[in-house]
Structure formats: C-alpha cells, structure tokens
Copies of this chain bind each other. A is one copy, B any other.
Amino acid sequence: MSDHEAPTTEAPTSETPGDQAAGNDAPERVDQARQIAELEDAWRRTAAELDNFRKQCARDVVRGREQERAAVATSWLPVLDNLERALEHASSDPDSVVEGVRAVLAQAVGVLADLGYPRRDDAGRAFDPAVHEAVGTVSGEGLTPGTVAHVVRPGYGPDDKLLRPAAVVVATRAS
C-alpha cells in the first residue's frame, strides 16, 4: 500500500492540548480544521479508488475467462482439421481413415494432457470413490478384490484436478 500510506508526519501526535500559549486559539484550530479536511479528502479518494478497483477487478475476471476460453478452444482446431483430412480419403480408402482417426484420437488426448488433464490409467488400481465411478462388479481368477478390473470410460485429469472420474468395473470376492 505504498501509494496509500497515511501521512504520519502530519499526524497531530506532536501537538498536545495546551502546547502553545493560551489566548487566541484560532491558528491551531484552523490548522486542525485544515488537517481534518485533508484527511477526509484523502480518505474519500482512497474509498473511491477501492470502488473503482472493485469494478475493474470484475472486468479483469471476465476478460481473463474470455481469453482462456478462446485459448483452449483454439487448441482444438488442429484436431478438427486432422479429422476432416482423415475423412477426405473415406470413399477411396476406408482403411486409411481408421489409421488417420486413431492418430487424431491420440492428438486429442495430447491436447487434454497439454491443458493439464492427462488421460488416467486406472486399470489395476485400488478402487477409490473419489476418482472412480463404479458401474459394475466382477469376480474371477487373477482379480484382486477392491481393485479396478476394467475401465469402461476413461477419466481425465490428476486426482486433485479431475475433469471427470473414470467409469470402472470393480473386482470383488467370488460369492
């Protein structure tokens, strides 16, 4: 708050009542009245600055969100371009479409990872309701009860910034 430091050097602490000779009290009272007016003015200006800053901040938040939205949306354009490119061979060579689309899927997973949301690999991990959504159970040889036997739909993002949990089938004891 270096710009808004109260001017302590002008504070009235160096004066005490009865400091000067009694008699005509006008000079000190005029000084104090002026000081009061200055302080009120300074206070009002700081309050107005706070008010302006609140409005400014609201605008900054909106603009920050808009910039982020545009930046993230832009990162998907190459995925769309490549998807279109893969489809260009559709009539002549369907098999090459499959290859191309596999590459686009890998690219899309890469875009999410670059944004901070890597694809999760939850198969075989201990089931954790905080990051897994159980959609079924299974039991059988070689399956450890309480672990994720199969990922039905992958999750994205690290544990503390999960975009969505993985939908999983959980291994249980044979009944």
Contacts and interface: CB of A to CB of B under 8 A. Distances in A.
A113 B12 CA distance: 63
Provide the main secondary structure of the chain A interface. helix
Which interface class (under 10, 10 to 19, 20 to 34, 35 or more) fits A? 35 or more
Contacts of A39: 36, 39-40, 43
28 contacts: A1-B51, A5-B47, A11-B40, A15-B33, A22-B24, A29-B29, A35-B36, A43-B43, A43-B46, A46-B46, A46-B47, A46-B50, A57-B60, A61-B64, A65-B65, A68-B69, A68-B72, A73-B156, A73-B163, A81-B153, A83-B101, A83-B104, A83-B108, A86-B101, A87-B101, A90-B102, A94-B94, A94-B98
